[in-house]
């Protein structure tokens, strides 16, 4: 026997001694604990048959994951994703699809599969962190259904692995495809008719929150409040211990209660007879998967059935009965009245908001109109002032034009008079010229030469003076 086989057998023996959860059920020959701690997983990472199945989103997985883990997101392990168009939600896939999915991810019926998910998140307005924890068991349930014998869940999920200081890696690991040849455990699943026929015979467990079971709250995926007749309330969140962030109230991680506490809860609610038939259901198939896993795999109840359609399918069939406790009847009436009042208030609030919006819009239009009116009024006043100034300028221009017209008329009269004077002067000058010429001729014949010259010079001076005076008179005119 080689060292590898010796090491493998040693680990198996050590696991058997240290694992209080190591049990065998009617459906499997389990060789690993159903709930493993971070310490257990770290110690067993080297085993050949160990498959660490990370069901978180590809983005979360690629950023950081347990060394060697493969990624198959949770939504690939069921059909009809929540809040989708298909009904009911979170149903078991077909056998062919499951076998192909398992084989493509190197999982065989002999694999030891540890399912790792997220267990952190907010508690309000919906317990999303708790639903995350339940999603892990939903995948584990599917693996058990497909015939994988050894399926476990990591207690506390990936968040506790990190909190405990264990190593991580990033990137993607691509598994080697194999052929999966397991045997489907079809007896695990029951339909609504089976459940209806078992009312009063089997123990029916409602794994939803107590307020939902009592009929105080109608979950959005259900058509009616209440629970299946004879069903016992065993809320799945009672199975968990939550580590809370003291600063913001969110869940850091969620773990399972001690096995003795789980056993006490189960014996008080389900009963101590572990061979009695038990049917578990919830809202759509999440919480019920956790209840199934704990009862069947952890506490070794040997005849547990899973109603996959759950309350979503049951309440939608109006031929099937539902009941809710008398404790909740008055509350439900009050809740109904409150819901109606809330609806009326919301409608009134919407009407008020619409009216407020219309008012604000009208106020904005009024303010804009008021501004435009003020602008127009200022422009009108400015225009009036401009018109007044133009009118004053026109009056002044008219007065100046009248005065100019008078001056022009006077100037024209003076010009006419001057022209007449010039004509007269020209006539006088012409006559003078004639007289001068005649006198000159006379002087040449009868007057001494020097007197003639003096006379001519005097006559020229007189002529020039006359022209000059005439010119001056014309300029003044």
| Domain definitions of the chain by residue range | 3-324, 334-476
Residue 73 — very low, low, confident or very high, per pLDDT cuts 50/70/90?
very high
Average of pLDDT values for 44-64? Answer: 95
Q: What would the two tokens of residue 17 be?
A: 């001694």
- Residue 419 pLDDT level (bands cut at 50, 70, 90): confident
Per the model's pLDDT, the better-predicted residue between 393 and 38 turns out to be 38
At 27, the pLDDT band (50, 70, 90 cuts) reads very low
- Residue predicted with more confidence, 385 or 342: 385
Q: What pLDDT score was predicted for residue 7?
A: 37
pLDDT, residue 245, reads: 93
Between residues 126 and 120, which one has the greater pLDDT?
120
Q: What is the mean pLDDT of residues 321-328?
A: 73
Per mean pLDDT, which range of 34-43, 209-218, 431-440 is the poorest? 431-440
> What pLDDT does 394 receive?
86
Instruction: Give the pairing of strands 203-206 and 232-233.
Output: parallel
User: Is 443:451 a contact under the CB 8 Å cutoff?
Assistant: yes
**Total residue count of the chain as it appears in this document:** 477
DSSP count for the chain of H helices, then E strands: 13, 12
pLDDT value, residue 340:
78
Angle at 168 between CA 60 and CA 68, to 5 degrees: 90
For 78-117, how does the pLDDT look when each residue is reduced to its tens digit (9 = 90+)?
998 888 888 898 899 999 999 999 999 999 999 999 999 9
Closest CA to 117 of 310, 289, 263: 289
**C-alpha to C-alpha distance for 310 and 288, rounded to whole angstroms:** 8
User: Nearest 5 degrees, angle CA 401-CA 402-CA 403?
Assistant: 90
- At 343, the pLDDT band (50, 70, 90 cuts) reads confident
- For the segment 232-256, what is each residue's pLDDT rounded down to a tens digit? 999 999 999 999 999 998 999 999 9
pLDDT of residue 127: 67
pTM value is 0.65
Task: Write out pLDDT tens, residues 353-385.
Answer: 898 888 898 898 988 888 988 898 898 899 889
pLDDT digits (tens, 9 = 90+) for 173-226: 999 999 999 999 999 999 999 999 999 999 999 999 999 999 988 999 999 999
Question: Is it the case that residue 58 has pLDDT exceeding 80?
Answer: yes
Q: Is the per-residue pLDDT at 452 higher than 50?
A: yes
CATH number of 3-324: 3.40.250.10
* Whether the Cβ atoms of residue 69 and residue 80 lie closer than 8 Å to each other: no
Report the pLDDT value the prediction gives residue 334, as an integer from 0 to 100.
57
pLDDT above 50: residue 9: no
Tell me which of 317 and 395 has the higher pLDDT: 317
The whole-number pLDDT of residue 311 equals: 96
């Amino acid at each position: 026997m080689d060292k590898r086989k010796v090491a493998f057998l040693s680990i198996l023996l050590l696991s058997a001694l240290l694992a209080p959860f190591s049990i065998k059920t009617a459906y499997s020959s389990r060789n690993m604990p159903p709930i493993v701690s971070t310490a257990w997983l770290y110690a067993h990472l080297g085993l050949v048959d160990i498959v660490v199945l990370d069901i978180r989103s590809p983005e979360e997985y690629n950023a950081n994951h347990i060394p060697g883990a493969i990624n198959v997101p949770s939504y690939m392990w069921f059909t009809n994703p929540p809040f989708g168009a298909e009904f009911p939600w979170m149903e078991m896939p077909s056998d062919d699809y499951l076998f192909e999915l398992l084989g493509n991810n190197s999982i065989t019926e002999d694999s030891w599969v540890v399912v790792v998910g997220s267990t952190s998140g907010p508690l309000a307005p919906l317990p999303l962190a708790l639903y995350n924890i339940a999603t892990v068991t939903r995948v584990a349930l599917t693996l058990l259904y497909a015939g994988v014998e050894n399926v476990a869940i990591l207690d506390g999920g990936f968040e506790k692995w990190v909190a405990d200081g264990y190593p991580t890696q990033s990137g993607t690991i691509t598994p080697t495809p194999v052929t999966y040849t397991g045997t489907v455990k079809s007896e695990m699943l029951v339909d609504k008719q089976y459940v209806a026929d078992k009312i009063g015979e089997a123990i029916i467990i409602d794994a939803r929150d107590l307020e939902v079971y009592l009929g105080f709250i109608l979950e959005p995926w259900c058509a009616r409040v209440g629970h299946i007749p004879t069903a016992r309330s065993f809320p799945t969140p009672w199975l968990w211990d939550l580590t809370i962030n003291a600063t913001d109230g969110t869940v850091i991680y969620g773990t399972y209660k001690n096995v003795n506490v789980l056993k006490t809860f189960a014996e008080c609610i389900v009963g101590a007879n572990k061979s009695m038939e038990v049917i578990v259901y919830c809202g759509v198939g999440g919480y019920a998967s956790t209840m199934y896993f704990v009862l069947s795999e952890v506490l070794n109840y040997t005849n547990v059935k899973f109603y996959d359609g759950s309350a979503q399918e049951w309440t939608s069939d109006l031929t099937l009965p539902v009941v809710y406790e008398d404790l909740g009847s008055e509350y439900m009436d009050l809740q109904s009245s409150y819901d109606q009042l809330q609806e009326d208030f919301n409608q009134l609030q919407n009407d008020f908001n619409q009216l407020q919006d219309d008012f604000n819009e009208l106020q904005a239009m009024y303010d804009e109109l008021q501004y435009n009116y003020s602008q127009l009024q200022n422009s009108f006043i400015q225009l009036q002032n401009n018109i007044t100034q133009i009118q004053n300028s026109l009056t002044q221009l008219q007065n100046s034009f009248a005065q100019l017209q008078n001056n022009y008329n006077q100037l024209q009269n003076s010009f006419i008079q001057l022209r007449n004077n010039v004509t007269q002067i020209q006539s006088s000058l012409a006559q003078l010229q004639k007289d001068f010429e005649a006198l000159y001729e006379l002087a040449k014949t009868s007057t001494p030469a020097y007197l003639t010259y003096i006379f001519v010079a005097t006559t020229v001076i007189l002529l020039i003076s006359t022209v000059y005076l005439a010119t001056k008179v014309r300029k003044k005119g």
